[in-house]
């Protein structure tokens, strides 16, 4: 009898292990499919974009894609990802968009991947322009980040360069700019009571949506949550700034837990579905990225947040990914829930790259969560 029970128990454990591996494989297959769609369609990473006007391919939309590609490379060591990245970086001479004098966070986002590649290669040419750029910005004002997207675009760069150089002033300066956005811009863009962010000073109360609720833009909040993860990944959990960022991260996760849709997505306008409801992939993917990371760290309650993560992934996998890898329900560029409407399964957004980057961040972190022991 004991032998029989042992065999059954072993079989169950094997099935569980195989089931989890199968789950991970499905996530990886989906990530590869979506990424292959992009790399096939945009085979030459040096080509500029042509949305109303010509823009170089190291603009922020493409930079977010490369964040996702580097995350995919962590779990799928395919040399073509590196070749694609290096062709892009070399073409732009590993420089921020618009040169080393820029103080625009959107121009600096590409530096996150430049630094990732430096850490893989040790080639200082990949980070020299970024360091020059940050040094110049640190001599100017604090109040550059007047919109919350900027927190994701540039705050991790300061943390990365701190980790590379060991020079604390980079991290401290990045946090000064973050705190200004959080506490001072427009009277403070972070609503501590809700754990959610107003996109910029235009949406701070008394602004209300037509149903009388606050305007919290899904992707904008996703940018901030992603920034927290990317900054904390550079720091020791014992670091006082890590603890400061972690506190805000937890407030955001708790706020997001209250407004997930039943189908697993989040609305374009997080708490005002009457104004702009509907499925939206980029915000949902970024929330998945943050929540899956928090679960792995043990910072989030498993009973509360694991179902949230599972529902988010299933929603994207089931309802957003086309058979050919095209990603649906991606809201186009803009600054609030009204931009790029309507957001649908088949509509091609003005830029496809950042949506795929957001997806890859969420997918790869969820893959890691599934493999957690």
Residues 205-232: pLDDT tens digits? 999 999 999 999 999 999 999 999 999 9
Residue-wise pLDDT tens digits, 271-295: 999 888 899 999 999 999 999 999 9
Is the predicted pLDDT of residue 16 greater than 80, yes or no?
no
Residue/partner pairs of 43-47 with CB below 8 Å, 24 or more apart: 45/84, 45/85, 45/87, 45/88, 45/91, 46/87, 46/88, 46/91, 46/92
Strand ranges for the chain from DSSP E: 49-51, 53-55, 190-191, 196-197
Q: How far apart are the first and last CA of the chain?
A: 30
Decide the pairing of beta strands 190-191 and 196-197: antiparallel
Kindly tell me the sign of the dihedral angle through the C-alpha atoms of 351, 264, 269, 108.
negative
**Is residue 365 scored above 70 in pLDDT?**
yes
Bridge partners, 197 (sequence order): 190
Question: b/e string for 329-352 if b means 16 or more Cβ within 10 A?
Answer: bbbbbbbbbebbeebeeeeebebb
Q: Phi-psi bin for 315: left (phi > 0), alpha (psi -120 to 50), beta?
A: alpha
CA 361 to chain centre: 6
Name the band, by pLDDT with cuts 50, 70 and 90, for residue 326.
Answer: very high
List all residues 6 or more positions away from 29 whose beta carbon is below 8 Å from its beta carbon. Answer: none
Query: Percent of the chain having pLDDT more than 70?
Result: 95
> Cα–Cα distance between 120 and 81 in angstroms, integer?
13
Q: Give the pLDDT confidence score for residue 5 in this predicted structure.
A: 43
pTM: 0.94
What would the DSSP string read from start to end of 219-240? HHHHHHHHHHHHHHTTS-TTSH
């Amino acid at each position: 009898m004991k032998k029989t029970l042992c065999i059954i128990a072993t079989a169950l454990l094997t099935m569980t292990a195989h089931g989890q591996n199968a789950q991970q494989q499905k996530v990886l297959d989906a990530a590869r499919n979506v990424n292959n769609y992009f790399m096939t369609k945009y085979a030459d990473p040096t080509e500029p974009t042509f949305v109303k006007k010509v823009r170089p391919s190291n603009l922020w939309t493409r930079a977010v894609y490369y964040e996702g590609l580097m995350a995919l490379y962590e779990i799928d060591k395919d040399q073509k990802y590196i070749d694609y990245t290096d062709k892009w970086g070399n073409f732009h001479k590993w420089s921020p968009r618009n040169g080393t004098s820029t103080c625009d966070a959107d121009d600096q986002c590409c530096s996150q991947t430049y630094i990732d590649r430096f850490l893989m290669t040790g080639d200082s040419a990949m980070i020299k322009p970024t360091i020059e750029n940050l040094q110049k910005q640190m001599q100017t004002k604090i109040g550059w980040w007047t919109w919350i997207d900027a927190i994701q675009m540039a705050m991790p760069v300061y943390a990365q360069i701190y980790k590379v150089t060991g020079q604390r002033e980079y991290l401290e300066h990045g946090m000064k700019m973050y705190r200004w956005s959080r506490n001072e811009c427009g009277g403070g863009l972070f609503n501590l009571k809700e754990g959610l962010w107003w996109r910029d000073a235009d949406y701070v109360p008394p602004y209300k949506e037509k149903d009388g609720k606050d305007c919290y833009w899904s992707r904008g909040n996703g940018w901030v949550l992603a920034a927290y993860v990317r900054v904390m990944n550079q720091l020791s959990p014992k670091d006082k700034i890590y603890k400061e960022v972690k506190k805000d991260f937890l407030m955001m996760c708790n706020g997001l837990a209250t407004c997930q849709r039943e189908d697993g997505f989040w609305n374009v306008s997080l708490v005002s579905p009457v104004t702009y409801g509907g499925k939206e992939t980029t915000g949902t993917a970024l929330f998945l990225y943050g929540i899956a990371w928090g679960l792995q760290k043990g910072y989030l309650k498993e009973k509360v947040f694991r179902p949230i993560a599972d529902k988010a992934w299933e929603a994207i996998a089931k309802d957003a990914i086309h058979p050919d890898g095209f990603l649906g329900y991606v809201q186009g560029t803009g600054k609030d829930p009204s931009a790029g409407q309507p957001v649908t399964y088949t509509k091609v957004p003005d830029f496809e790259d950042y949506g795929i980057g957001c997806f890859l961040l969420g997918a790869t972190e969820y893959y890691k969560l599934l493999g957690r022991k």
